[in-house]
Structure 1
Amino acid sequence: MIVEDSAVVRHLLAHLVSRDPRLELAAAVASAEEALAEIERVRPDVISMDIRLPGLDGLEATRRIMAEHPTPIVVIADAVEERGLRISMNALRAGALTVVEKPLGPGREGWEAVAEAICTQLFIMSQVPVIRQRGIGGMGAGPGRAASARAGVPPFSRPSMVGIAASTGGPPAIARVLGALPADFAAPILLVQHMGASFMEGFAAWLDGLVAPRVLIARDGMRPQPGQVHVAPGNRHLSLTPAGLLRVTDTPPVGGQRPAADVLFDSMARALGPRAMGILLTGMGEDGARGLVAINSAGGITLAEDETTAIVYGMPAAAVRLGGVSASLPLDGIGPRLLRAIGGTLEATGGQ
């Protein structure tokens, strides 16, 4: 189902769907109200959701759909419009699975790539099982599987830096983990989120407004600071040099990804050894699994989001299969475990 108020964009999206053999157009409507009225009859496998709609906007539509008719939702947004980006990120918190750039039409630069990205995301997300949204604060830190039953932090060295990676479903999961941390959290955090390059500045700004630690886009040559979250820029790898500086590069994708979690985690294992900590959250595919093994083999702490809370249990599952995970935890257990592992704040660790 396409939900889009612009007749031009609605017809364009319908054309893209109709020419893709993986997809079939179930309905195309101009408002959230029409979508809510039609969804029970149409029963779409996936919804393409415009974020700026007359009447109910895409955020409220996402909330209603996830509460009443849970369905995979792909947000279609203008990547350069600030308010739309903010609404899009909040729609991800409300249960939408991913956000992609709105097509501008044939003949525009990058048109075919944007068209292919939209159709591929619609197809992939149509396969993701979703559940009735329980609200951003409603997910308890219930018991995970055997690896998460250990009560204390394993007897590793205290980490000096944390790497976090996520893909599908990542923005709200990252917000939950970072939301448990104080502004003066005692270690720098390096973050890889698979997302369209044009959305990364907006994603970092949105996250910065939600959590206490400062969130900023990583820059080549920066020295990461405690209490700061350094986000990999769009379409660039983020890694750590042996001298402890950030490295941002446009070297080829790894495992089809740029930025790649494996690049970040591997560099942290080499530079920090047992003082590295890696966390792998929800996401499709296997990026980050081998890098988490590298940190684990170097003696560092490695956490993976448990299947009980992961929107897509792909990347964490791959890391578990490879034996690279110290503990699998439900989402709400990761922030507190991170706090205990690091020692919490600069004051608690004797930092400056």
Structure 2
Amino acid sequence: MLSPIKVLLVEDSPVATIVLKRILDASPEIQVVGTASNGLEALELIPKLQPEVICTDLNMAQMNGLEFTREVMKKYPRPILIISASVQAKDTQNVFELMKAGALDIFPKPIGGLASDYDRLGNELIAKVKVLSGVKVFTRHQRLGGIETAEHRPSKKNYQLPIHNYQLSSKNLNSHTIKLLAVGASTGGPQALHSIISKFPANLPVPVICIQHISEGFLQGLVEWLGFESKLPVKIAGFGEWPQAGIVYFPPEKRHLELDAQGRFIYSEAASEAGHCPSVTVTFKSVASFYGRGAAGVLLTGMGRDGAEGMLAIARAGGLTIAQSEASCVVFGMPKEAIALGAVQHVLPVSAIAPLLLAKLKV
């Protein structure tokens, strides 16, 4: 029998601590090994308790959740779930600053704050902790201007797929003329998208379509945050709009984003084979169909297999395909599935993806 997932709970409200501990301890797969009332206390407990997942509030005295997340990722990197009333869909800056600092997911506290409100969301909280217990984490080395490097820490799973087996045989890998870039991501995606899009110059000569699996209500916040952090405008694609160079597009919530026979954006609601709406594969297949060799697909960190068949469609159309490497993924699920299909030409750490694309675009 597997050992339970060890969780450290950091929360300054005694009532919330009792309720959250009761919910988590109700799962036989989870054990709350310690509690702390602020970040400073928690930092002292981490080396003693060795938790596998940290659940922390945001607004706390002495050291808040954002400062605590930064310190954890520098000293004791491990998956962090933010549980706070200040990470609702309207709290764009809080949510994505926390993700930029290294937090992997958020769990908005119920507005009412009653124990019964928490109980209704208990299964969702338990599911999030279970997911985070198996993902990779990195040590963040700070410098002026942000995160400089990431030191890989082993995950529980080691797929043992040598990179030299990932390369597609193609005579013309260096002759791609990219006309549109499509990017797909899931768990850990906001950080990876930020790493790539923030490196693009204002004169990027192609449109960019991004598909990110994200909780309902948080898409607009992601769009605003990436737009603030990049030199390119970032927006929701308009129905009937033609993709324009130098603009980053996202599909609206609960809609697949495709291209019609003239290359204009259209929406659809059909369920995808991977169970996601919007789906990376649906968009990638449409891009492959319209742009052919001019399509470029990038598949980033994420659980499941959405995007794998779409990457194969782009590869078969003669387009460029890139997958994020296992060592730089939060979850090496979606890229691994695309690699297994033989759909990937380049496997790269996330920091190397934008430079390769810019070299091919001659920007």
When normalised by structure 1's length, the TM-score is 0.86
Equivalent residue, structure 2, for 1:293: 312
Query: For the residues of structure 2 that align with 1:2 and 1:316, how far apart are their CA atoms?
Result: 32
Counterpart pick for 2:123 among 98, 104, 116: 116
1:167 matched to 2:167 = no
3-state SS in 2 of match to 1:67: helix
154-163 or 131-140, larger mean C-alpha shift: 131-140
The C-alpha deviation readout for 1:249-293, integer Å capped at 9, x for no partner, is 443354132222111111111222221110011112211111100
CA drift at 1:139: 4.7
1:305 matched to 2:324 = yes
Equivalent residue, structure 1, for 2:149: 138
Equivalent residues of 1:79, 1:198 under 8 A apart: no
Counterpart pick for 1:55 among 36, 51, 62: 62
Equivalent residue, structure 2, for 1:347: none
Quickly say closer, same or farther: Cα 1:238–1:52, change in 2 above 3 A.
farther
Equivalent residue, structure 2, for 1:207: 226
Equivalent residue, structure 2, for 1:192: 211
The C-alpha deviation readout for 1:80-99, integer Å capped at 9, x for no partner, is 465x4323322222222223
Quickly say closer, same or farther: Cα 1:79–1:186, change in 2 above 3 A.
same
CA drift at 1:106: 6.6
276-285 or 20-29, larger mean C-alpha shift: 20-29
**Aligned length in residues:** 337
Equivalent residues of 1:276, 1:300 under 8 A apart: yes
CA drift at 1:300: 0.7
3-state SS in 1 of match to 2:234: strand
Counterpart pick for 1:277 among 286, 290, 296: 296
Equivalent residue, structure 2, for 1:349: none
Between Structure 1 and Structure 2, the one with more strand by share is: 2
The residue correspondences of 1:64-83 to structure 2 (distance < 5 A) are 64-77=71-84, 78-80=86-88, 82=90
CA drift at 1:65: 0.9
1:195 partner letter? I
Query: For the residues of structure 2 that align with 1:111 and 1:343, how far apart are their CA atoms?
Result: 54
Equivalent residue, structure 1, for 2:340: 321
1:35 matched to 2:35 = no
Equivalent residue, structure 2, for 1:334: 353
Equivalent residues of 1:163, 1:190 under 8 A apart: yes
Query: For the residues of structure 2 that align with 1:172 and 1:304, how far apart are their CA atoms?
Result: 15
Query: For the residues of structure 2 that align with 1:102 and 1:233, how far apart are their CA atoms?
Result: 25
Equivalent residues of 1:218, 1:246 under 8 A apart: yes
Equivalent residues of 2:138, 2:150 under 8 A apart: no
Give identity over the alignment, percent. 31
Query: For the residues of structure 2 that align with 1:122 and 1:103, how far apart are their CA atoms?
Result: 17
59-68 or 27-36, larger mean C-alpha shift: 27-36
Equivalent residues of 2:136, 2:329 under 8 A apart: no
The C-alpha deviation readout for 1:49-71, integer Å capped at 9, x for no partner, is 22233332211101111112122
56-65 or 32-41, larger mean C-alpha shift: 32-41
> Cα RMSD over matched residues?
2.7
Query: For the residues of structure 2 that align with 1:49 and 1:318, how far apart are their CA atoms?
Result: 32
Query: For the residues of structure 1 that align with 2:303 and 2:176, how far apart are their CA atoms?
Result: 31
Quickly say closer, same or farther: Cα 1:149–1:179, change in 2 above 3 A.
farther
Query: For the residues of structure 2 that align with 1:53 and 1:170, how far apart are their CA atoms?
Result: 27
Equivalent residues of 2:167, 2:344 under 8 A apart: no
Equivalent residue, structure 1, for 2:97: 90
1:4 matched to 2:11 = yes
1:145 partner letter? I
CA drift at 1:79: 4.5
3-state SS in 2 of match to 1:209: helix
Quickly say closer, same or farther: Cα 1:311–1:182, change in 2 above 3 A.
same
2:230 partner letter? V
CA drift at 1:315: 1.2
Unpaired runs of 5+ residues, structure 1, are 345-352
2:267 partner letter? V
Query: For the residues of structure 2 that align with 1:244 and 1:214, how far apart are their CA atoms?
Result: 20
1:306 partner letter? S
Query: For the residues of structure 2 that align with 1:304 and 1:258, how far apart are their CA atoms?
Result: 21
Query: For the residues of structure 2 that align with 1:40 and 1:22, how far apart are their CA atoms?
Result: 22
Query: For the residues of structure 2 that align with 1:263 and 1:81, how far apart are their CA atoms?
Result: 26
When normalised by structure 2's length, the TM-score is 0.84
